[in-house]
Structure 1
Amino acid sequence: MRQSGTWMTIWDDRILEIIRDEDAGRVGDLTERDAIRISPSSVSRRCKKLAEHGLLTPLGNGVYTISDRGEAYLDEEYDAENEVYLNGNGANNGPTASQTSES
């Protein structure tokens, strides 16, 4: 099961999934998708929030790619609430749940 953050909305998973499937996503294109039924300004806000938390990487002009953290989140290997990798995955990219509990 994905470990979403309390700051996340239902649309965030859909945005991440589409951007992963298409290798990149532009806010304007995302708003035209049937799977996303929120305004362009809301999509833009969600993408910015996902980028703030390291799940997306902004390329400029409203274009985003999925980050390693975003991939790990979709693959159920990253806890977005605590910002840690699960089960030792991604140990080179940030703390894991076991590392943070030992500190």
Structure 2
Amino acid sequence: MTIWDDRILEIIREKGPKPVGKLTERDEIRICQSSVSRRCNKLAENGLLAPLGNGVYTITDRGKAYLDEEYDAENEVFLNGNSSRNGPNASQTSES
């Protein structure tokens, strides 16, 4: 995980699904579009983001848990026995 991963997740959580190009335009993101794209792909591979198509990503329950410090992305485990987001649909988004 990098500082940019945290920023990407925070922006998508706050503002909703975003395409890579729009993320790159944000003041909080100071890396090029190809780097943002690589980070989004890596976050999606690890279940923290979900691709919606055409370079648009949304945050998953696992991504929200990571931001809430309820999920350890490095070790891929939920913390403090929090299993409410850990299950067959843990990487899918929820309606909120």
The answer to whether TM tops 0.5 is yes
Q: Which runs of 5+ in 1 are unaligned?
A: 1-7, 95-103
Inter-partner Cα distance in structure 2 for 1:70 and 1:92:
10
Q: Percent identity?
A: 78
User: What residue in structure 2 maps to residue 78 of structure 1?
Assistant: 71
User: Which structure 2 residues correspond to residues 15-94 of structure 1 after superposition, within 5 A?
Assistant: 15-91=8-84, 93-94=86-87
Establish whether residue 10 from structure 1 lines up as the match of residue 3 from structure 2: yes
Question: Can you list the C-alpha shifts for 1:1-35, whole angstroms capped at 9, x where unaligned?
Answer: xxxxxxx1110000000000012111000000000
Structure with greater Cα Rg: 1
Question: Can you list the C-alpha shifts for 1:21-54, whole angstroms capped at 9, x where unaligned?
Answer: 0121110000000000100000000000000000
Calculate the aligned-residue CA RMSD, in Å: 1.1
TM-score (norm 1): 0.80
Offset, 1:91: 4.5
In the TM superposition, structure 1's runs of 4+ consecutive aligned residues that sit over 4 Å from their partners are none
Q: Which runs of 5+ in 2 are unaligned?
A: 88-96
The AA in structure 1 aligned to 2:2 is T
Inter-partner Cα distance in structure 1 for 2:57 and 2:71:
19
Q: Say how many residue pairs are matched.
A: 87
